[in-house]
Structure 1
């Protein structure tokens, strides 16, 4: 090859490379993706491998600052440098609950503004071709705040949900019982607020109907109102109704199961030093 032809070939190659988009440009042209990741009830040992893989490859993480700390205690690294901010600010927490009681209008306004802010941030990152992971405790589809609050109205096509183990799964494992025993007609999973209303204003006639059948009743977020729950249940259920409270379901070394009956529930619970992380289970599986 002559020098002139070699030079021409090099010039053509250089021109071609200049016309090709860079990897960064290609990535930016591709739409990003949002993953709603179920983190399980405790740590990485109860988190799906696929969820951990998504977290590792994600460009941006949205989660509580406690999440990397919690997983670090198990020896699993969640890069805190990827955490943009805590998306649950003004959505969850004691201050939010207090504001909701004190000024429902202001609470709703601040919540809606926060949802708009978080969604706007996510959309900007997706336009940049970024992979965003929104880390939700437990299973996002069972009282998970991501789907229940933050992603209201968000385009379903823009995100994927990676399920996680829910507290009721871990509680069933702790009880070593089937939550769907042979004679059970169904599993009834709810919360006191969903069942009775925020101020307990809803009619409890549903309990009268449920009491006719063998069921498994699971109540999330119930420990703070057990006295009211016991009073309502006592109207329709016998004192010997089997009840279990599974504290720290799925937390190795902290998980505790209290088996009791409706008639002695409140007295037995007094001996337990925990009023938040506990799942209420009633029915034959609680024996």
Structure 2
């Protein structure tokens, strides 16, 4: 497993949990994949902010550089880690034709390898390198593009709050326990796509069990997404989109039902910074309903036979 980062000791100095080494004592640095939360310092952890102070060199998009300016001022930022990995010649990846996709795939691996080489130079010089990752770095976290070429003991992953946590707080409902819900499913249309279409069998499997469904990156083609969901779920199933989760002044919630939500979303310009929730947890008092149901179920089991007497 990648090493973890302990809290500062009584002297305030960082120590590495696996080697108990101070920065620079190991002879080589480490790559820190740092969760900065979904919306800047206010949704970051103390561990993340302290890690930002520890590392000497960074990779971060311009927005993160601005948001965390007080913590990284004066430190070199070598590159934007996401530039070129999800776009090609001014087009987003999903707008590329087949021939362009092939060239794009070659180019983004070339970019990744070039940047990994830069990180290796920093580590070889005994410095720690920080890769700023928004949200949960291990849930739809593109930072793994850069982490996986390294040995596990060269990497430290700093956990943090994901956009799902901020979005759930905005909705103010228990996602599970909730009513008769048995699963919390977090996925994306891309993960459910086979041969260019949403996999009907996979959606039927999901719909077969009462669940809360959380869909990342689902707003680009809402027409097809909701058409596919309506084929396996009732049209009156409640749903909601949380835009810019955790961002002060920008966060907002759009609520609806499967049979009309696509039309509501067609008026929206934002097609990326939003998380789609589907399920009955959005109705009533889901936690209380779940506890009441659990009590009734236990009562039936307890009265089933002599062994319970």
Q: Which has the higher helix share?
A: 1
**How far apart are residue 81 of structure 1 and its match?**
3.9
Q: Distance in 2 between matches of 1:64 and 1:198?
A: 32
1:189-241 deviation digits (Å, cap 9, x = unpaired): 111111124722x5311222222221011110111111101110111111111
Q: Compared with structure 1, are the counterparts of its residues 27 and 81 closer, same or farther at alpha carbon in structure 2 (3 Å cutoff)? A: closer
Structure 2 counterpart SS, 1:37: strand
Give, in angstroms, the shift of residue 131 of structure 1. 0.9
Aligned to 1:95: 91
1:39 to 30, 36, 40: 36
Q: Which residue of 1 is the match for residue 80 of structure 2?
A: 86
Give the direction of change, closer, same or farther, for the CA distance of 1:205–1:198 in structure 2 (3 Å limit).
closer
Equivalent of 2:60, from 63, 69, 78? 63
Give 1:247's aligned residue.
Answer: 243
**167, 174, 181: which one aligns with 1:178:** 174
Paired with 2:116 and 2:234, the residues of 1 have a C-alpha distance of 48
Task: Indicate the residue corresponding to 2:105 in structure 1.
Answer: 108
Paired residue for 2:18?
none
Bigger mean CA deviation after superposition, 116-125 or 86-95: 86-95
The TM-score with structure 1 as length reference comes to 0.83
Give the direction of change, closer, same or farther, for the CA distance of 1:123–1:169 in structure 2 (3 Å limit): same
Distance 1:42 1:197 in 2: 33
Cα displacement (A) at 1:100: 6.7
Aligned-partner Cα distance in 1 for 2:74–2:191: 35
Shift of 1:273: 4.1
Taking the aligned partners of 1:29 and 1:174, their CA distance within structure 2 comes to 43
Asked if structure 2 preserves the Cα contact closer than 8 Å seen for 1:140 and 1:163, the reply is yes
Aligned to 1:194, the other structure's residue is in SS state coil
The CA deviation at 1:102 is 4.1
TM-score by length of 2: 0.77
Shifted more, 256-265 versus 103-112: the winner is 103-112
Q: Does 1:213 align with 2:219?
A: no
Contact 1:189–1:218 (8 Å) recurs in 2:
yes
SS in 2 for 1:237: coil
Q: Report if the CA contact (8 A) 1:28-1:127 is conserved.
A: no
Counterpart of 1:11 in structure 2 is: none
- For residues 107 and 96 of structure 1, the distance between their equivalents in structure 2, rounded to whole angstroms, comes to 10
Map of 1:222 onto structure 2: 218
Q: How many residues align?
A: 257
Q: Is the 8 A contact 1:192 1:229 kept in 2?
A: yes
Unaligned runs of at least 5 residues, structure 2: 1-22, 284-309
Q: Larger C-alpha radius of gyration, 1 or 2?
A: 1
CA RMSD of aligned residues (A): 2.1
1:36 counterpart SS class:
strand
Whether the 8 Å contact between 1:259 and 1:286 is mirrored in structure 2 is no
Contact 2:52 2:71 in 1 (8 A): no
Contact 1:34/1:131 (CA < 8 Å) preserved in 2? yes
Any idea what the Cα deviations from partners look like across 1:148-201, whole Å, max 9, x if unmatched? x2233321110110112111111111111122124221111111111124722x
Partner of 1:275: 271
Three-state SS of the structure 2 residue aligned to 1:84 is: coil
Residues 104-155 of structure 1: CA distance to partner in whole angstroms, max 9, x if unpaired?
32112111111211111111111110011000111111111111x2233321
